[in-house]
A = this chain, B = another copy of it.
Amino acid sequence: MMDSKGILIVVSGFSGAGKGTLMKELLKNHPGQYTLSISATTRHPRDGEEDGREYFFITTEEFEKMIAQDQLIEYARYVNNYYGTPRAYVEQKLEEGKDVILEIEIQGAMKVKKAFPETVLLFVTPPTAGELKHRLTGRGTETEEVIDSRLRRAVEEADGMDQYDYLIINDDLERCAKELHDIIQGEHRKSFRNTEFMEKIKQDLQRLKGE
């Protein structure tokens, strides 16, 4: 009798924080419980990408029609391509009781929180800045320029951290996936997500008192 509706979860974090691997681990450990939202984009599929798996690949005309009809929870334009989160898929999965995860950046995260105030915002970070630099540096094969540009981006990403509900410190994949799961399960126990349960127990108590 707890809430049967799913929770909308936004996962953001530093590039190189290991979000993708973490999501895969979470979904693997709890089959059927979580759904990753699939974004729509106007960019062309890369080798190995499949329509409906990595993205829904659509035309600019289709995308702009979705914008006009309010069919996207959030969208943005990067380098002449649109990226966005289709509303219908997310709402359907939430109704089915799945927790839906959006892996998006901070601007999108803020738009989603505004449209769906009950969204849980999670920020994934390595344990230290040094560790982050280590991950951004890769195997020592990147040029200094590339590393610099990644660090500048990390500084920008760090600015948004405070806007998130939870910090996930990704030091150990398994521990971290468990923590993520526990946090989401805890969110299901929030009172405001269980108003039906509370109403029912109040009504039943009134009735029992009168018997």
Given A165-B191, A166-B189, the answer on whether A208 and B133 have CB atoms closer than 8 Å is: yes
Q: Is the CB of B130 within 8 A of A198?
A: no
| Across-interface contacts of A155 in B (CB, < 8 A) | 202, 205-206, 209
Answer whether residue A56 sits at the interface, using C-beta atoms and an 8 A cutoff: no
Q: Give 1 or 0 for each of A189-205: 1 = CB within 8 Å of chain B CB.
A: 11110110110111011
With A154-B205, A190-B165 known to touch, is A1 a contact of B128 (CB < 8 Å)?
Answer: yes
Distance between A133 CB and nearest chain B CB, rounded to angstroms: 5
* Copies of this protein chain in the complex: 2
A residues sitting closer than 8 Å to B (CB atoms) are: 1-2, 123, 125, 127-130, 132-133, 148, 151-152, 154-155, 158-159, 161-169, 179, 182-183, 185-187, 189-192, 194-195, 197-198, 200-202, 204-209
- Between A and B, 30 residue pairs with Cβ closer than 8 Å are A1-B128, A2-B169, A125-B201, A129-B200, A129-B205, A129-B207, A129-B208, A130-B204, A130-B208, A132-B205, A133-B208, A152-B209, A155-B202, A155-B205, A158-B202, A161-B191, A161-B198, A161-B201, A162-B198, A166-B186, A166-B189, A166-B190, A167-B189, A167-B191, A167-B197, A167-B198, A179-B185, A179-B189, A182-B182, A186-B186
Interchain residue pairs A-B with the least CB separation, the first 8:
A129-B204, A186-B186, A182-B182, A183-B186, A151-B209, A166-B189, A129-B205, A158-B202
In addition to A1-B127, A155-B205, 17 A-B residue pairs with Cβ atoms within 8 Å of each other are A1-B128, A128-B204, A129-B205, A129-B208, A130-B208, A133-B208, A148-B209, A152-B209, A158-B202, A161-B191, A161-B202, A163-B191, A166-B191, A167-B190, A168-B189, A179-B186, A182-B185
